Structure 1
């Protein structure tokens, strides 16, 4: 009888180490959210890894890959800063998150062999607006308001 009581106490002590809660992670471009239980002291990096594995196991599209360093996790209702991979998932009190894939940076080189500033496809500045590019590409007239 005392062995059973010791096992119950051990299980009770382990459950008090951290609260578990259900989180919802929306993946940008995916049809629906991923939901799973986490311990409030789990690191954000571990949560991202678990989400990517679950996403891949379910065969969801678009294919994301498995490198957790290529992703940002944002708390959906607590500011605009991405969560640090080394902070606890329960530190901000959120239960709803959004997972974004980092945009790859491309290194451009000029004709002299020197290195130009790295730019992304969506973030070009100084070369005109997207409306101007669209007008040139498709010969449309898009009026500005």
Structure 2
């Protein structure tokens, strides 16, 4: 009788669990794992990023949850809210996108820098490598 109560209690604690498939934009294949339907989207994104990194997949995404949006592949075009439960839309297939970063104008020496969607910094203004090197190392490179 005690054994039956333990089994019954463990089933209640698990809740409704299901297998989800998350396709990461730019990755070779999907990531699959089991979640509780009451788990929030932010926790699912975190688990996805950890699994992605543990498997050594490319491109490297990072671990900042605020940089990503999760979309249900069969429900509209709106991203899921980070505080929404994963089972709220009834979907089992999801798409994980890195948020597009808008160009940021930083006015330093009259030049604007752009942040690329991948998170790296692109060229600053219309300068050349030689000008950047001169500025960085504070010495002049002769042309010949």
Q: Residues 79, 60 of structure 1: CA spacing in aligned structure 2 closer, same or farther, 3 A cutoff? A: same
* 2:84 equivalent in structure 1: 87
Cα 1:111/1:19, change in 2 over 3 Å: closer
Decide whether the 8 Å contact of 1:103 with 1:120 is kept in 2: no
**What is the distance in 2 between the residues matched to 1:104 and 1:43?**
24
Match of 1:44 in 2: 41
RMSD: 2.4
Q: Could you tell me the TM-score, scaled by structure 2's length?
A: 0.71
Pair 1:4–1:44, CA change in 2 (3 A): same
Instruction: In structure 1, list runs of 5 or more residues that go unmatched.
Output: 123-145
**Hey, what's the Cα distance between the residues in 2 that align with 1:121 and 1:22?**
34
CA distance in 2, matches of 1:111, 1:46: 38
Deviation at 1:107, TM superposition (A): 2.0
Number of matched pairs? 116
Unaligned runs of 5+ in 2: 118-144
**Structure 2: distance between partners of 1:10 and 1:62:** 42
Map 1:92-103 onto structure 2 (within 5 A).
Answer: 92-103=89-100
Q: Secondary structure at the match of 2:88?
A: helix
Q: Could you tell me which residue of structure 2 aligns to residue 34 of structure 1? A: 31
Normalising by the residue count of structure 1, what TM-score does the alignment of the two structures yield? Answer: 0.71
Q: Distance in 2 between matches of 1:31 and 1:12?
A: 35
Report the counterpart of residue 53 of structure 2 in structure 1: 56
